[in-house]
Amino acid sequence: MENKRRGRGFYGIQRAARHKGKGVAAGVWLHPDKPEIDTELGQRMVDYAYSHGVNYFDTAYPYHEGLSESFIGAALSKYPRESYNLVTKLPTWLINGEADIERYFNEQLQKCGVDYFDFYLIHSLNAERFELVQKHHMFEHLCELKARGKIRHIGFSFHDKPDVLERILAAHDWEFAQIQLNYLDWELQDAKRQYELIEQKGIQCTIMEPVRGGMLATLTPEAVDCFKQANPSVSTASWAIRYAASLPNVLTVLSGMTNFDHVTDNVATMEAFRPLSQQEREVIDNALAAYRKAVTIPCTGCRYCMDCPAGVSIPEVFAAYNRYATSKSRSMFEELYHALDAGQRADNCIACGTCLPKCPQHIEIPKHMKQIAELAAKKE
């Protein structure tokens, strides 16, 4: 792929391999300035994943600038329909009336080239969007589609606080829920409480961002050393995948992958899957303690904040800063930062706040842009 870490783990196709009830997922990524999908590489990734037991393929209406659903549908068309689970999501923010629900749903069926979806989610719920769900009776309409054989399982993906999740879970008879969970967010974003609420509801959860947009695949040198000393033969990312997959109420784990090596690594992790031991959990605790000494910005690269009215390439600016924060290398920061066009850099931020309500991580983006612009201007 041309661009290795630009985009979102869920902007593109994702696939989850089921091994002993667990799974991993991969993503074909999008260059921010070129929405084209590398279909040749993407097909190779799909074929390898499928041939190694992957049977859960996750996409959504906005991924890859609207190209993802068509791509994954075409990539899977060679395989028997009953041999895989195809998953997509209702674009909640685009629903202005009840008629829109079936209109978008039928468009998604057509783009994917299928007659039904195995798992269908109401996308990216928070308190505000859940009001739209209730206002337009989205759940009830999806139940009607399920009764007609168009949906097998109904769920939702979630980005908000546990009290909001509790209200959403209580409102309807959901069959599964998707949350952001990893060993950093277990406490940082109270993923622990979210997981417990879903478990108490009696439904399973699917996990997004187990490697936190790639952040837990790189970490700081000190944190990586903790993992390498414990087991030098496995990748840093594999620890994060196994952390999520070791939880008993997890249906599958979705992890965005940017190249073929990531697919083979995650598949290898799950083919030989074993839950974390207590000793391994202590290794993660030690690595996390080392990582927390670096002050990073909790951006996952999801790109929900884009497009910026001022032209700032927000995820790439944060990626450059986080590389500096974890490596303490000024030259590395400057290399990544100045690889951006001048108009994409932090000093172009006008603090308009357009990005703020879009960020699932609730990052104070203008504040950080000001700090990064000052760092970039500083002479050393």
- pLDDT tens digits for range 294-305: 878 888 888 889
Indicate the SS3 state at residue 120: strand
- pLDDT tens digits for range 56-112: 999 999 998 899 999 999 999 999 999 999 999 999 999 999 999 999 999 999 999
- pLDDT tens digits for range 211-251: 998 889 989 899 999 999 999 999 999 999 999 999 999 99
CA end-to-end span of the chain: 34
Residue 345 is given by DSSP the state S
More confident: 286 or 189? 286
Q: All domains of the chain, ordered by start, with CATH?
A: 14-291 (3.20.20.100), 314-377 (no CATH)
Check if the beta carbon of residue 323 is closer than 8 Å to that of residue 87.
no
List, in sequence order, every residue forming a beta bridge with 85; answer none if it has no partner.
56
Q: Among 55, 280, 54, which Cα is nearest to 183's?
A: 280
Q: Is the peptide bond before 265 cis (omega within 30 degrees of 0)?
A: no
Distance CA 207, CA 228 (A): 25
Residue 179 pLDDT class (50, 70, 90 cuts): very high
- Confidence (pLDDT) at 308: 95
Indicate the SS3 state at residue 145: helix
Residue 258 pLDDT class (50, 70, 90 cuts): confident
Distance CA 86, CA 331 (A): 44
Average pLDDT score, the chain = 88
The CA radius of gyration of the chain, in Å to the nearest whole number, is: 20
- The predicted model scores a pTM of 0.82
Question: What is the DSSP track for 176-204?
Answer: EEEEE--TTHHHHT-HHHHHHHHHHHT-E
